[in-house]
Structures are given as C-alpha cells and as structure tokens.
Structure 1
Amino acid sequence: MRAMILAAGRGERMRPLTDRTPKPLLPVGGLPLIGWHIRRLAAAGITDLVINHAWLGEQIEAALGDGAAFGVRIAYSREGQALETAGGIATALPLLGDAPFLVVNGDVLTDVDFTILAERAESLDGTLAHLVMVDNPAHHPAGDFGLLADGRLSTNPADGVSLTFAGIGVYHPALFADTPPHQPAKLAPLLRAAMADGRVGGERHTGLWLDVGTAERLAEADAIAQHWAR
C-alpha cells in the first residue's frame, strides 16, 4: 500500500515562520513536523510514500531525500503552484498506482493508527473513500460532515454525529477519475458527490489530533512531541 503526505501548502497563517521554511519542515519535538507522519507510517509497514510540494519544495527534498533515513522510499510530486488537495492527488496518481491509498495532511500532529487504515484500504468494497473524523475543535465548531450509525458519512453535519474531517483518509483512485492533473481542484466537492451516492465511510478518532495551523498550535505540538521523543 502507498501513502501520500500533502505538503504543498504555503502556510499563510504561520507567517513569518513559513516565509523561509515550508510548514512541513517546522521543528516539532526534535523532528520536522512531517517526520512524525513518516515515522508512524513506517511503523505501520507503509513504506512507499509520495510527497507533493510547491512552496520551497526543494527544501523538503533536501531534508528528507529518498527516505532511507526513515526506512521508507519517497517519491516526489512537484507542483509549480499548489493545486489544492484533489488537484494534487490527481497529479500524483501515476505515482500512487491503481490500488486504494492513504492520504494525510502534512500539517497535523496525530496518533491515528495507520495500520488500521491500511486494513480499511483493503476492504473499501465499492466505497470511494473512508475518512478519519474528529470531534469538532473550538476553531471549527460547526463540523464538516455527519457520521451515520451505519458508518457512512452525510454531507449534512446535523445528520448523525457532527464531526470534523481530520485531513486523513483512504481513497480509491476512481474518486479522482474525472479530475484533470496539473490543475487546481478541491477535494470537498468530490467527497460530497460520493457521499450523496452513499459511497463514503468514516470513523471517529478520539485520540490525539492537532491542526498545526497557527504559531500557538505549533508550540502545543512541540510540547506534545517532546514527550514522544523521550
């Protein structure tokens, strides 16, 4: 199974920290933020990784290389400009293959069990996506989608349990069949269309999940990861 780490964002809310350093390389607990994903993916036996990048992407390649230092193999999907989530994934499809794959946002800190998600990928069975959902954080109280009792997701957060998309999911390549590569495209419209057909499942993660989107949350992530590094 392959996994993709999304690392092409500019990190506007983190400026000036991200003016000279891409957000995935900001230090957290003695590692670049993206390094924790790579380490956890490797521990789950997922060692073929794709990383997309745009802003200061050459720094990401210089820091991570071919992945050997982490025990993984990294291929890079280079974007001249950030292509949004769906556009970035569609552009990277030739590197991801024909089987379902895992995607994780590069700017979150989490203890999600990637081993379980790898198992989800093997049993999509007609489902186009399986998303990790978390309780609605204070900065996003309305939530994104509703988790229904049968494990499917609804576009209406008022249906079932209102939760926030964690930026972590398993996708079938068919979800991106009509998304042209090398062009910006958002993921949410694709997911909503698939949800309307009952083809998106989800699960609630109750462990650690932190959207490292501000300098304050970066400091919080650093404090948490300092304990992991011991």
Structure 2
Amino acid sequence: MKGVILAGGRGTRLYPLTKVTNKHLLPVGKEPMIFNPIKQLVSAGITDILIVTSTQHMGDVVNLLGSGKEFNCDFTYKVQEEAKGIAHALLLAENFANGEKIVVVLGDNISDTSIKHSVEIFKKQGHGARVLLKKVGDPERYGVVAIDEKKIIQIEEKPHHPKSDYAVIGYYMYDHKVFDIIRTVTPSVRGELEITSVNNIYVEDGELEYDIHPGNWTDAGTIESLRFASEMMLKVENQMFYISGRGEA
C-alpha cells in the first residue's frame, strides 16, 4: 500500500501568509504543517509516499523534506502544474500507485490521532474505497454525508442546507479503480475535478465504506483553523497518538 499527500493549491484563504510560501510549509505548533500528514502515513505503516505540490513551491518542499530519511520513509515528488482540484492532483499519482491500494491525505489536514486503525481495516476490505468522517460545526465548508447506520447514501459538496453535520475529512483510501473513475468525472462549475464526485461514484457502486475519526482534527486552510490547529498540536507537543490509547505515542 502506498501513500499520497496532496500539497498543491494556491492557499488563497491564508493570504497574505501564502504570498511567498506554500501553505503546507506554514507552522502548526512546533512543526511545518506537512509534517502531520507524513506522520499519519508513517504511523499507519506506509513508507512509500508521493508528494504532489505546485511548480512554484516544489523547490521549497524538497528542501524541507529531502529523501524522507528523517521520517523513516521514501519520498517521490510530482508537480501539479495547474490547480484543477483534488481529483486532478490525485490522477498524477497513477504511475506511482502502480496498481496498489493508496491512502491519500490532504496536506492541510491536522490530527493528534493516527489513522492506523482505519488503514488496517482498509487493507482487509478487498476492494472499493474508505473515507473518514468527523462531526463538525460548520458542515457547509465540506463534503457532507447523508448516512444510515451502515452506509453512506450520498455526499454533497459544500451544501447550503447540510443533511447532517458529518463531514468527509481529508483522509481517503482507494483501490486501483480510482484513476479510471477520475477520468469519467465532469469538471464542476468552478472548473475542478472534485473528489466528492469520485467518492459518489463509489457510493453508487456500493463500494464506499467509512469510519468516524476518533481524535481531534481540523483542516488548517483558513486563518481561524490554522490557529486552532496550532493550539491543538501544541497541547500534545506535536505528537501522534494511537486509537488504542493516548499512552502509546
């Protein structure tokens, strides 16, 4: 199983902090933001990791992260030349995945709790996809699920009238079919290939499973959420904890 971190985009909601740097290099607690997604994958036993970022920031990202030796993993890098959505960026990982299952983490997702348990369940899942959900106070910012006790019925992207307060957060797990699915997706009104469209195709096929992420979580894509992410991680000294107990750092 391989890992993909999507760290492109323009970071417009964090302007002017992002005027001279990639948002994923901004500090969260005591470390650059991108360290947390890396730790998530490594904590789940995934050490072959592709990092997708923008042309203008690739040099800074590579200078910070290097080969991956510091994190006990191996990095590959890929440039997303145009910001055309999460699914567009993910399509760049097709050759890297080479038919294996992948775990995808958005570079601005921050949590103090490992996704290891969900990754282990996905390894046994056989086929399809798996996403993580979290109850949020502002669901209109996210892809929001309508769910029954066992299945996701639908995911709606940034709804004006959310059907629930459970958001799909930026940890996605896919089988090899995801790249073929992306190629069938029609760009949204903002000209992007939306990951919600990809996930909804898995829903239609009855192949999208989910877990509720048990730890503290936020994205760090706005000034307010970046501050919250820093406060959250400073409380735990930027450590990652496992589901089985906060004593197992």
Q: What is the TM-score with the length of structure 2 in the denominator?
A: 0.82
Residues in 1 aligned to 2:142 and 2:5: alpha-carbon distance in whole angstroms = 26
Work out whether residues 100 and 121 of structure 1, in 8 Å CA contact, stay in contact via their aligned partners in 2: no
Shift in alpha-carbon separation, 1:112–1:131, aligned structure 2, 3 A: farther
Q: State whether structure 2 residue 169 is matched by structure 1 residue 169.
A: no
Task: Map 1:68-79 onto structure 2 (within 5 A).
Answer: 68-79=69-80
Aligned residues: 226
Q: Equivalent residue for 2:153?
A: 154
Q: What is the TM-score with the length of structure 1 in the denominator?
A: 0.88
Superposed displacement of residue 207, structure 1: 1.9
Q: Equivalent residue for 1:212?
A: 220
Give the percent of matched residue pairs that are identical in Structure 1 and Structure 2: 26
- Relative to structure 2, which stretch is displaced further, 23-32 or 41-50? 41-50
Q: Equivalent residue for 1:87?
A: 88
Q: Equivalent residue for 1:25?
A: 25
Shift in alpha-carbon separation, 1:83–1:159, aligned structure 2, 3 A: closer
Residues in 2 aligned to 1:166 and 1:153: alpha-carbon distance in whole angstroms = 14
Structure 1 runs of 4+ with >4 Å offset: 156-162
Residues in 2 aligned to 1:97 and 1:112: alpha-carbon distance in whole angstroms = 29
| Gap regions ≥5 residues in structure 2 | 239-249
Residues in 1 aligned to 2:237 and 2:142: alpha-carbon distance in whole angstroms = 34
Q: What do you get for the CA RMSD once the two structures are aligned?
A: 2.5
Work out whether residues 139 and 165 of structure 2, in 8 Å CA contact, stay in contact via their aligned partners in 1: no
2:194 pairs with one of 168, 172, 186? 186
Work out whether residues 148 and 159 of structure 1, in 8 Å CA contact, stay in contact via their aligned partners in 2: no
Superposed displacement of residue 120, structure 1: 2.6
Q: Equivalent residue for 2:246?
A: none
SS at match of 1:81: coil
Q: Equivalent residue for 1:11?
A: 11
Shift in alpha-carbon separation, 1:135–1:25, aligned structure 2, 3 A: same
Residues in 1 aligned to 2:233 and 2:82: alpha-carbon distance in whole angstroms = 31
Residues in 1 aligned to 2:85 and 2:141: alpha-carbon distance in whole angstroms = 23
Residues in 1 aligned to 2:33 and 2:220: alpha-carbon distance in whole angstroms = 9
SS at match of 1:18: coil
